[in-house]
Structure 1
């Protein structure tokens, strides 16, 4: 049984929803789906990409070298009132996953994939344990060279100094940072990989076009951190897109992204100021 399941995990099942031979495309339906993806991006990561471009223009016209500028993530909103700050952070986590839930709802309600949403995204229960292990391996493959690339880009003046966490140190700091990492992972991988790959496959885009377009958008909404993070996230998007096109499992990508952010957020929160290389 496992052999038969594995044989279906090729790129055609993930991305190819094109009509069978001899059938005509419904161009009007394709346009509606394309507009749908544009609106989903406009209320989520596409909007972030646009503001990231504006922020990069501001950085380039500031007259200060890129590596002398700072990008701060996960900041306290009301540092003098921890209880209120906690409510802000939990609200960010809760509302942050809404675009991902919207994307899945649209997949389920508007022209669902032929094999169903759970199967299209590879979220069937069998295999979850292997998905976690695969996600940890992907995190190591991406994270170790990614950290070296960030240091090199910063040293060459192409990247800002990224402060990955700037929350006040209270009892809820670590759980909230883990929650924020999980939110980022669910949002980005569900929208940029699961949703867009399915929809763009349905309107007839090639696998290569889907992977490259998604990766460029991913890089663009990280552009505000500098050219290094822009390029690094494009490479990450290309790699994760290729993995999904081959294995059709979304959970390993979510796990990998969550691991990367957890290590980054917690590592910075508890090591910044204690080690010289942060």
Structure 2
């Protein structure tokens, strides 16, 4: 008999019981708040504070302005460095959302329809959505400016450098991925798992989109809520977020690059400066 024969064998630990439905709901709810707190939900809170500050500043909204792509340094290559870093770190919440959606071994990009399985169809839908949203959006912006409920939006204030247009295109793609993956794909998937009703899920996605555009005024809020309903309903029906990314990227490229290419004296004449 070995010297260790008197030592009792270690008890095999009992398997932990699977978590109940309530625990899973609480975990998913906490996860959603964390993801939003690191990304668009945080932007929404800041936008609400911003619009309160604007409304209490003593200056009418129509006489206020905001800049979407400001220069971050008067030194061109340092500015470029800041711009690239800003775009890269803004995409970290997208990576987090995709990682969390793939926790059960499913491909998150396939789950959200972020694949290139049907490129021509997705491109066509994206272009169509961009046209359907963009043209009424311009009219709504003009109406908001006329009614004094929308601030003047300067789409770009980057220095005139060789990298300006590429950075604006990358910024458009970053905005599209961040908003469509999180505000539509991720959020709607998680709310569906939490057994939210379809109207409530659509409203949550659309209102989130509107909230982080409030800093531009009430017109931008309403326009983005409408856009949010259209995009959320498209995803609900098709389970594909890539056409939404394409549409959003095109909208922002037209706004950012188009603004940057308009001569300064033309912008002044149009009241865009």
Q: How does 1:1-278 map to 2 (within 5 A)?
A: 26-79=21-74, 81-109=75-103, 111=104, 116-271=107-262, 272-275=264-267, 276-277=269-270, 278=272
> Counterparts of 1:220 and 1:228 in 2: how far apart (Å)?
12
> Counterparts of 1:204 and 1:112 in 2: how far apart (Å)?
21
- Verify the 8 A CA contact 2:99 2:108 in the aligned structure 1: no
Greater relative CO, 1 or 2 (CA 8 Å, sep 6+): 1
RMSD: 1.3
Q: How far did residue 132 of structure 1 move?
A: 1.4
Q: How far did residue 112 of structure 1 move?
A: 6.0
Count of residue pairs brought into register by the alignment: 250
Q: How far did residue 107 of structure 1 move?
A: 0.6
TM-score, normalized by length of structure 2?
A: 0.88
What SS does the aligned partner of 1:162 have? strand
Q: How far did residue 206 of structure 1 move?
A: 1.4
Q: How far did residue 27 of structure 1 move?
A: 1.8
Q: How far did residue 163 of structure 1 move?
A: 0.3
Structure 1 unaligned blocks of 5 or more: 1-24
> Counterparts of 1:118 and 1:100 in 2: how far apart (Å)?
11
Q: How far did residue 125 of structure 1 move?
A: 3.6
What SS does the aligned partner of 1:274 have? helix
- Verify the 8 A CA contact 2:98 2:109 in the aligned structure 1: no
- Verify the 8 A CA contact 1:186 1:254 in the aligned structure 2: yes
Q: How far did residue 130 of structure 1 move?
A: 1.2
- Verify the 8 A CA contact 1:128 1:251 in the aligned structure 2: no
TM-score, normalized by length of structure 1?
A: 0.87
| Deviations, residues 216-262 of structure 1 (Å, cap 9, x unaligned) | 11101000010000111101101100111111111000000000000
Structure whose alpha-carbon radius of gyration is higher: 2
Taking a change above 3 Å as real, the CA distance of residues 168 and 124 of structure 1, as seen in their structure-2 partners, is closer
